[in-house]
């Protein structure tokens, strides 16, 4: 499991945003991908089987499409119904909100009397009681279902005056009940915290289960050495909803509640008949990052991919901005270097496909030189000096045979690396011919055309070049590779 992969978080709707908000504050290095199942909320009145099924669907999407390293169920009802089942079936760690909230409440209570407000589903499951009693069997627990609170928050009425009156009314019994600690046992409820606080009084400790869950996430990351070592900017977090794409209530609440400077990346997931979740654009267009700083190569690769019908959005490396680390090409083979390029970029873009090319010219009479040193044979990417060095070294030598090699390495989320090689044989001329192409192109004569690469059009070069052949080879294995996983 790659520790730089994102953490998935799921909820029935906007409630989990209270957990995300705390997580964004306390875990600056992690990237979060959130799903709010707004199309099927509220979960409170649903059957256990339904909640388990929905929770699995979201978990499956996040695991297969987003390669999450950990799942947080930021919903009390879903935790009560599905946590144990998910923990058994999934291979990644799964964390719920109930145990951390129960533990914090047990630590906070002095008079051993704890109140809980939650959805009916959570209250009926008795999940909090069970947990609380694990830490102290004699603690008195008073639970109250508050399904209306969820609806008020989801309808973006959590700051309304009328909502305040409802909260004051509903929570009045707790004042008389002698509790000293109240668990907000639904992740929607922290949005109502000011009203809840007013209703129960200052002396009562409010436990926000979601906030307590952050400690559990931290502990788990530490224990499994899964802390991301890249500082993810939380503006990269993605928020999915399952309701209609033109319903922007979620975005309004999320923008207001999370108060982030950049516009939130809110996307829509379609629920397909069999319960699978799909993001249509993401399905048709996975991103392919070309891990190369060589613009000539990028242009060639884009043109060839287009030619052979590989329909992916190609992202050049330089569009990733400052986050791209330096890649030291100290391998002894083209494959080693190409792998290094691909893996370095995969670390900063774990959810994308990455294609790297390492290539070079190998001259028979020079024992394969310049080979992996092609880019820096005489001077670093100094084509003029590199060409001169080749011509000088071959002066008086009649054997002019040479070969270009391109080794491509493709990596992708949860995929083994795919390697494809292309080679083209030719002759080194005694002077430069032609102006097209780059690198050693003016010295590399292709017998079939009796022209150097630099005298061929881009299209002609791509038909026979090492890079063109390597990409054709890659294309052959691509459909199978895209289907498979590690
Ligand atoms: O005349 C050429 N026609 C080609 O078609 C070609 N392909 C590779 N080369 C040479 O080999 C080096 C690769 O080195 P290389 O794989 O490290 O690439 P690079 O450093 O240029 O870019 P990057 O992909 O590493 O960012 C390049 O710089 C060139 O000198 C070529 N020369
Ligand atoms: Mg290079």
Q: Which of 303, 317, 359 to mutate to test the pocket of ligand 1 (most atoms within 8 A of CB)?
A: 359
Determine contact, residues 231/28, Cβ cutoff 8 Å: yes
Least confident of 50-59, 326-335, 384-393, 475-484: 475-484
Average pLDDT value for the chain: 92
The pTM score is 0.57
Interhelix angle for 98-108 vs 209-223, to 10°? 110
Distance CA 238, CA 279 (A): 12
Q: Which atom of ligand 1 is nearest to the CA of 317?
A: 26
Q: Active site residue: 37, 75, 352, 383, which one?
A: 75
Beta bridge pairs of residue 361? 404
The pLDDT value given to residue 99: 96
Q: Which residues have C-beta under 5 Å from ligand 2, the single-atom ion?
A: 375
User: Atom 20 (ligand 1): residue with closest C-alpha?
Assistant: 375
- Confidence (pLDDT) at 399: 97
Q: Strand order of the sheet with strand 353-363?
A: 313-316, 287-290, 353-363, 401-411, 418-428, 444-446, 451-452
Q: How far apart are CA 28 and CA 31, in angstroms?
A: 8
Give yes or no: 358 in active site: yes
Report whether 48 contacts 253 (CB < 8 A).
Answer: no
Confidence of residue 54 (pLDDT cuts 50, 70, 90): very high
pLDDT of 285 higher than 50: no
Q: Is 186 among the catalytic positions?
A: yes
Bridge partners (DSSP) of residue 300 are none
**Mutational pocket test of ligand 1: of 343, 375, 451, 454, the residue with most ligand atoms within 8 Å of the beta carbon:** 375
Q: Compute the radius of gyration of the chain from its Cα atoms.
A: 30
Active site residue 75: yes
Q: How far is the CA of 374 from the centre of ligand 1 (A)?
A: 7
Quick one: pLDDT band at residue 213, thresholds 50, 70, 90? very high
- Contact in structure between 328 and 341 (CB atoms under 8 Å): no
* % pLDDT > 70, the chain: 96
Tell whether the model's pLDDT for residue 26 goes beyond 50.
yes
DSSP 147: H
- CA atoms lying within 13 Å on the CB side of residue 161: 0
- Decide if pLDDT at 216 tops 60: yes
Ligand 1 atom 23 nearest Cα: 292
pLDDT at 273: 74
């Amino acid at each position: 499991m790659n520790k730089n992969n994102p953490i998935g978080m799921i909820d029935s709707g906007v409630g989990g945003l209270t957990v995300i908000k705390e997580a964004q504050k306390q875990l600056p290095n992690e990237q979060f991908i959130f799903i709010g199942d707004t199309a099927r909320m509220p979960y409170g009145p649903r059957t256990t089987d339904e909640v388990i099924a929905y929770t699995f669907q979201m978990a499956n999407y996040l695991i297969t499409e987003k390669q999450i390293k950990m799942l947080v169920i930021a919903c009390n009802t879903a935790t009560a119904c599905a946590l144990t089942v998910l923990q058994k079936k999934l291979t990644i760690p799964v964390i719920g909100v109930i145990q951390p909230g129960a533990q914090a409440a047990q630590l906070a209570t002095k008079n051993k009397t704890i109140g809980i407000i939650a959805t009916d589903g959570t209250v009926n499951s008795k999940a909090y009681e069970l947990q609380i009693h694990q830490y102290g069997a004699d603690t008195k627990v008073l639970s109250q279902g508050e399904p209306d609170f969820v609806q008020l928050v989801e309808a973006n009425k959590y700051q309304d005056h009328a909502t305040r009156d409802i909260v004051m009314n509903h929570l009045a019994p707790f004042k008389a009940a002698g509790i000293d600690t109240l668990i907000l046992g639904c992740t929607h409820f922290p949005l109502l915290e000011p009203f809840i606080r007013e209703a129960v009084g200052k002396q009562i400790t409010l436990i926000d289960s979601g906030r307590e869950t952050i400690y559990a996430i931290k502990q788990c990351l530490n224990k499994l050495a899964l802390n991301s070592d890249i500082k993810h900017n939380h503006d990269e977090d993605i928020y999915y909803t399952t309701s209609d794409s033109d319903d922007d209530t979620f975005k309004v609440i999320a923008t207001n509640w999370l108060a982030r400077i950049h516009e939130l990346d809110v996307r829509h997931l379609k629920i397909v008949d069999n319960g699978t979740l799909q993001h249509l654009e993401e399905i048709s267009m996975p991103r392919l990052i070309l891990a190369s700083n060589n613009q000539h190569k990028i242009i060639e690769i884009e043109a060839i991919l287009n030619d052979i019908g590989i329909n992916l959005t190609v992202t050049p490396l330089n569009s990733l901005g400052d986050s791209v680390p330096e890649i030291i090409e100290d391998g002894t083979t083209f494959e080693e270097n190409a792998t290094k390029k691909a893996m370095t970029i995969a670390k900063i873009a774990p959810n994308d496909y990455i294609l790297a090319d390492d290539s070079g010219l190998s001259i028979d009479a020079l024992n394969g030189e310049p080979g992996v040193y092609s880019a820096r044979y005489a001077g670093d990417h100094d084509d003029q000096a590199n060409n001169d060095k080749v011509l000088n070294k071959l002066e008086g030598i009649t054997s002019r045979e040479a070969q270009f090699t391109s080794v491509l390495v493709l990596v992708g989320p949860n995929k083994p690396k795919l390697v494809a090689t292309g080679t083209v044989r030719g002759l080194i001329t005694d002077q430069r011919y032609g102006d097209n192409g780059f690198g050693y192109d003016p010295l590399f004569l292709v017998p079939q055309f009796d022209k150097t690469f630099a005298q061929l059009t881009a299209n002609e070069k791509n038909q026979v070049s090492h890079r063109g052949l390597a990409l054709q080879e890659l294309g052959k294995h691509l459909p199978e590779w895209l289907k498979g996983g590690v």
